[in-house]
Structure 1
């Protein structure tokens, strides 16, 4: 299982360091329902990643991701395709970055966060984790990497759980700060929100470039 965890770490870091979900949590923690909506968002985020990862893991396992003592050839092509997609997204992130001191534009739904109920906060967590194209690509890459190691079903499930837990750390940090520091957390979280918003494009460009390059390199190794 150690090999599987080593393979999935870059994907988990790409998921957990995404600025937009962290900003979303911080916004919810600034609303009257913060004590309920913050944890509800995390539950939705965790569940979304787990369901998506499990589905991909089942498909990859059924397609024979591991054969003849090593990764199946199709996993190499999959990695090349996923790597190319991430490089394309990274390029788009960089091209769309704010210029000339302009503020980054946040999703419109964030302005309605004040009125979110717990189920709506949880639903937003599911959407941002399992319906976000970038997360889908990263989760597919992680699940395929786990499946191709050929470890037992139980070990694959445990490795996926590690991926989901690590992928939840980023959004969980603001919630921990909020409950751990109380009123003192307001300034810290506000500064974090503005910093992440200002550097969202740069952060995601670097993360996606690194993971995309790794996927392409791994894909070439499998095909070679």
Structure 2
């Protein structure tokens, strides 16, 4: 059952990992005077914020009985349906932004900020991690899945750790490139930042359409079994 859980949460982990704004934020931090310290602070905060939300949601799901006779409870199907429909609604909103971009839109305030204190970095990472409708839908879907198909606390912890490792790739990969790619790192990361900035809405629209459809499909499968 642990394998089943991990297999089902992989897409939700990828859904969180594909976070263009978080990618842009950590790449900007890697260009600051205290690049490594700032980026590590951002990455650790991102991971901790996700871990807290997932742990709380898993605990709540377990308390209300996500698993019934080794099968997902009926409410799990309805929850996944709501999550899927919410993701599709956000996808439609992002698609409209991609098709009708605002003229001369200014970068977000945090991208123009030049004062990178530890508190501001922690606040930014937490905001981008959890005050984000796309991430919240995927965190909720992963937590409900882990609670409903993974028996035992140990197996749930393992599944949660696997989810967090995948969900944090958007911040750990740029940091790794900065540390190990040498002189090429700046060129590679700058090109990623520029691409993610230009195509943020399109990426989110496509990603959420896929993930929303998957959640609706999972809901139908749960409710009809």
The normalised TM-score by structure 1 is 0.94
Is structure 2 residue 203 aligned with structure 1 residue 203? Answer: yes
Report the Cα offset of residue 104 of structure 1: 6.3
Counterpart residue number, 2:92: 91
Residues 74 and 222 of structure 2 are in contact (CA less than 8 Å); yes or no, is this contact kept in structure 1? yes
Report the Cα offset of residue 125 of structure 1: 1.4
Counterpart residue number, 2:40: 39
Counterpart residue number, 2:24: 23
When residues 67 and 105 of structure 1 are mapped into structure 2, their CA distance, relative to the original with a 3 A threshold, is farther
| Alignment RMSD | 1.7
For 1:96, what is the secondary structure of its paired residue? Answer: helix
When residues 98 and 105 of structure 1 are mapped into structure 2, their CA distance, relative to the original with a 3 A threshold, is farther
Residues 21 and 128 of structure 1 are in contact (CA less than 8 Å); yes or no, is this contact kept in structure 2? yes
Report the Cα offset of residue 202 of structure 1: 1.4
CA distance in 2, matches of 1:105, 1:80: 36
CA distance in 2, matches of 1:159, 1:119: 30
Q: Which runs of 5+ in 2 are unaligned?
A: none
When residues 100 and 69 of structure 1 are mapped into structure 2, their CA distance, relative to the original with a 3 A threshold, is closer
Report the Cα offset of residue 183 of structure 1: 4.0
CA distance in 2, matches of 1:106, 1:165: 29
Counterpart residue number, 2:10: 9
For 1:30, what is the secondary structure of its paired residue? Answer: coil
- The one-character-per-residue Cα deviations of 1:78-126 (angstroms, maximum 9, x if unpaired) are 01000000000000001012658966653211111x2112342133212
CA distance in 1, matches of 2:105, 2:5: 37
Counterpart residue number, 1:58: 59
Residues 46 and 164 of structure 1 are in contact (CA less than 8 Å); yes or no, is this contact kept in structure 2? yes
Report the Cα offset of residue 9 of structure 1: 0.5
Residues 16 and 166 of structure 1 are in contact (CA less than 8 Å); yes or no, is this contact kept in structure 2? yes
4+ residue segments displaced more than 6 Å? none
Q: Which runs of 5+ in 1 are unaligned?
A: none
- The one-character-per-residue Cα deviations of 1:129-179 (angstroms, maximum 9, x if unpaired) are 122222111101001001110411110011011101111112211111111
Aligned length: 223
Stretch moving more, 141-150 or 123-132: 123-132
Residues 104 and 198 of structure 1 are in contact (CA less than 8 Å); yes or no, is this contact kept in structure 2? no
Counterpart residue number, 1:186: 186
